[in-house]
Amino acid sequence: MIAAGLHSLKLRILVAEDDSEMRALLTRELSAEGYEVIQVENGAAAALHIDREACDLVIADLKMPEMGGLELLTMVKGSHAEIPVIVMTAFGDWSSFAEAFEKGCSSYLRKPFKMAELKSAVRKALEEAT
């Protein structure tokens, strides 16, 4: 889906975040940038969605019930290696940072982050995926 060009298609971003306010904020901000945003409340729901429908980017919280961001990252890279994944967290440490990059994440954002940081990470991940 990405290969058709960044500006010719409405790119789909899957947001996996257990905090409903953060999900709504990310959806609002990314939708305003012209992306189609699909939101789910945990990694398990994200994994099911990815197996059913294509997406161009995954943004995942590190700590979620049922399946956390690192587990989701491992699953995405194992079955859909072309999909970039951004991991975000309020609880990260050097170990989770290193593990996320070792598993192939595109960016790792510490909460609270500025929306400009997220938007920049999204653009960079999508550009690198083409």
How does pLDDT run across 68-89, given as a tens digit for each residue?
A: 999 999 999 999 999 999 999 9
As a whole number of angstroms, the distance between CA 72 and CA 113 comes to 21
pLDDT band at 130 (very low <50, low <70, confident <90, very high): confident
Say what the pLDDT of residue 93 is: 84
Q: CB–CB of 92/69 below 8 Å?
A: no
Burial status of residue 79 (CB atoms within 10 A of its CB: 0-12, 13-18, 19 or more): exposed
Question: Domain extents for the chain?
Answer: 9-129
How would you classify the pairing of strands 107-110 and 36-40? Answer: unpaired
Say what the pLDDT of residue 101 is: 96
Among 45, 49, 13, 8, smallest CA distance to 29 is for 13
In which residue are the tokens 């945990």 written?
42
Say what the pLDDT of residue 45 is: 97
Identify the CATH homologous superfamily for domain 9-129: Response regulator (3.40.50.2300)
Which three-class secondary structure state does DSSP give residue 17? Answer: coil
As a whole number of angstroms, the distance between CA 76 and CA 97 comes to 17
Say what the pLDDT of residue 92 is: 75
